[in-house]
Amino acid sequence: MGSSLVLTRRQPTRCRSPSSVVSVRLAPPFKPGRTSTYSRAMELSGKTAVITGGASGIGLGMARSFATHEMKLVLADIEQGALDEAVAELSATTDVIGVRTDVSRLDEVQALADATMDRFGAAHVLCNNAGVGIADPVWAMSLEDWRWTIDINLWGPIYGIQVFHPIMERQGEGHINSTASMAGLYAGQSLGAYNVSKHGVVALMASLARDLRTAKSPIRASVLCPGPVDTKITDSARNRSAESASQHVGTEAGNRFYANLTAALQQGMDPDAVGDLVADGILSDRFWMITHPNYLDGVVAQTQQIATGDLL
């Protein structure tokens, strides 16, 4: 969900590192065109990928792309019917299992790892992709709206890293990708809880990548920031419990925003193309995986405005 970005054409920002930085590099210099922080990419063929939210949309697109790279697959999703269909489709081309998982629950993410190790004995790629969204002005979101969104979108990836990172370190190889959004780089209107969760995912993955690099770990990390993709994300409430949903109030402004967003997403990118982009990103060791680079203009413009104190 990135269609709320303000698009403006600006000259690229030229950033300088502060001259006072001596031993601790808090903000390394910006290097235009630098795409990889690592020196060694991972082969995919014969490896095992775990994809949360793998039953539909972008997650299913990743699964289809990974299958063409001859990866074995573990699809994790809360929606059993869609999960069964995805497993049936992919089992024609690769070795695949489906594990019903609620990523907002640590015990279920642990059970996902156990099922993965039981079946394949390894977990080389983890895609923390499951996500939900809800639209309303910040003040109109109930506390349960905030919890539901952040539990899935941010705690899901945190649990994923907690459980799968030790497995990958033992293997001496692995790649953790999380799906954030352009909403993780630019907080547009009406998506407060979603924006907060996705900014958290970007920070989580950048922190992870830098910590791994500092520790000279063989494990890689990356973040996917899609713009509009043609999926069912605006129908996220289909997977919300009745009790949680009953605490959503909803406003006319939020409903109108979501109707417009739904129409925009229907013109969005094919999720299978996003899957290919992620596979390519893992193969070429990209940290930032961006589906709509033109949207970065808004992000750059916002960064430039920090100096003037204005919010675009």
Residues with catalytic annotation? Answer: 194
Least distance to ligand NAI from the beta carbon of 246, Å?
A: 18
Binding of ligand NAI at residue 130 (CB under 6 A)?
Answer: yes
Q: Where are the alpha helices (DSSP H) in the chain?
A: 57-68, 80-90, 106-120, 143-150, 156-171, 192-214, 242-245, 252-266, 271-283, 296-306
Q: How far apart (Å, rounded) are the C-alpha atoms in residues 220 and 174?
A: 6
Main-chain dihedrals φ then ψ at residue 241, nearest 5 degrees:
-65, 155
For residue 239, give the DSSP letter.
Answer: G
Show the tokens assigned to 52. 């949360």
CB 164 within 8 A of CB 174: yes
By beta-carbon proximity to ligand NAI, the closer residue of 58 and 113 is: 58
Residue 55 lies near ligand NAI (rule: CB under 6 A):
yes
Footprint on residues 174-233 left by ligand NAI (CB under 6 A): 179, 181, 226, 228-229, 231-233
Q: Which of 77, 113, 126, 208 binds ligand NAI (CB under 6 A)?
A: 77
d(CA 191, CA 133): 8
Among 73, 103, 109, 125, binds ligand NAI (CB under 6 A): 103
Minimum distance from residue 230 beta carbon to ligand NAI (Å)? 7
| In the complex, minimum distance from the CB of residue 25 to ligand NAI, in angstroms, rounded to a whole number | 30
Interface contacts to ligand NAI, rule CB under 6 A: 1-2, 52-53, 55-59, 77-79, 82, 101-104, 129-133, 152, 179, 181, 226, 228-229, 231-233, 236, 239, 265, 268, 271
